[in-house]
Amino acid sequence: MALAFPVKHRKPELIVPAEPTPHEIKTLSDLDDQQSLRSHYPMIMFYKTSPFVKEKDPVGIIREAIAKTLVYYYPYAGRLVEGPNNNLGVDCTGEGVVFVEADAQVRLEELGDTICPPCPYSELLVSHLSNSIGVLSSPLMMIQVTRFICGGFVLAILFNHLMSDALGSIQFVSAVSEIAKGASTPSTLPVWKRELLTARNPPHIGHALHEYEPMDRIDHITKIMNDEKIVCKSFSFGPKEIKSIRKNLPLEIRSSSKFDLITACLWRSRIKALNLDGEEIVRITCMINIRGKKFLDLPTGYYGNAILCPATITKAKTLCENPLGYAINLVKKARSQVTKDYIRSTIDYIATKGRPQLSHFWNFIVSDASRVGFEELDFGWGKPIYGGTMYGGATNDNSVYALFRNKNGEDLVVVPVCLTVAAMERFEKELNKVIWEPVEDSNNLNSIMFASKL
């Protein structure tokens, strides 16, 4: 249960680069300049007090390190501007990023497991910073360091999604942590090169893109979801849950990745809980990092958006009536689509179709932030007891996976889910059933694998 505690906020200030930086306009890529990315997203890290740095103030150390890091990442200190055809760029003005110092009248240990997403303290720790004049006019980063009376602290950052995804953002924060501990330069230097993820001339869309299919019935779906109160709950997948899921699967698919298992369980349980007509088309959309693809040749240090959202579709009754293996194979199919042709087709589609939104037509969009690495960031106080997404990205059709270490030292994947009250009750029952009860028919595996390829 969330605690109530007072927080005293100092007046927001602007941190500018510690040295003069170039004044230029940098163009965003077509993957950056998407309508769905015109928002801020928060990341948060909670740190215990440390006897080795007891006399040091995290506010001053982090403030100074940010200023020094902005010399290398100077576009973050600029502002977005619109160019020809409403294309966005960054005017590197050096105006700075927002910084707030705060003090909370509570001990970190009193918060317990409530610090994992969805964090109930967002209004106190970062959310008030977002009351700005708009994503396109506001600073590109907003930071708050809040001290606890025990000597611990929390670092919360709002990133402008048009500038970078989570992996790009952690590159910046990692550089801040290195400089906070005495480094003179970041170990990984930033690379802009947004032209590498820009549409071809002429564009060529040679791949089916289920994630962007028309949303003719979205108003109807939104009304259904808005007619009732929406509740958000977090579900944890630890070693016991994963072991049980694997045990209940046919031998041929027990080696599936943890992501595939969790996503399939959530998606299938969610669709069952929604009580859809069996003929409804449902889809699973997986956010996939395309860094490291040899044919793209994205350089080390690239910190722009490099995430695509491949999807697969099926009928609701087919998903619900088949064993879990069917859903697992559909998740694998979505991820396997990320080829050179798919990537280039997606970028061309975004650029030529007016920056379309992802389809929300009975879609479940998942992103795995549990391996981004925020839980490893050390500013001199050791690693955080929790580091990652604040809200879990949870909306009616979207969940972001986070990593949380419980008091027993077990690493859990925590997934916030939002549904109507009635659907949530059904969802919990279905999820427990699919995790703990044997449901597979190994003799049906061939037909499952065949059907998932259709």
pTM for the model stands at 0.90
Q: What is the C-alpha end-to-end distance of the chain, expressed in Å? A: 46
CATH classification (class only), 210-452: alpha beta
Which comes out higher in pLDDT, residue 404 or 53?
404
pLDDT for 58-95, tens place per residue? 999 999 999 999 999 999 999 999 888 778 999 999 99
The one-letter amino acid at 391: Y
Q: What are 376's strand-pairing partners?
A: none
pLDDT at 128: 55
pLDDT for 279-313, tens place per residue? 999 999 999 999 988 888 899 999 999 999 999 99
pLDDT at 382: 95
Q: What is the mean pLDDT of residues 372-394?
A: 88
pLDDT above 60 for 451: no
The answer to whether domain 7-197 and domain 210-452 are alike in fold is yes
**Domain layout of the chain by residue ranges:** 7-197, 210-452
CA–CA dist 71, 93 (Å, integer): 12
Catalytic residue ranges: 161, 378
Beta pairing class for 79-82 and 88-91: antiparallel
CA–CA dist 316, 322 (Å, integer): 10
Fold classified for 7-197: Chloramphenicol Acetyltransferase (3.30.559)
Other beta carbons within 10 angstroms of residue 120's beta carbon come to: 14
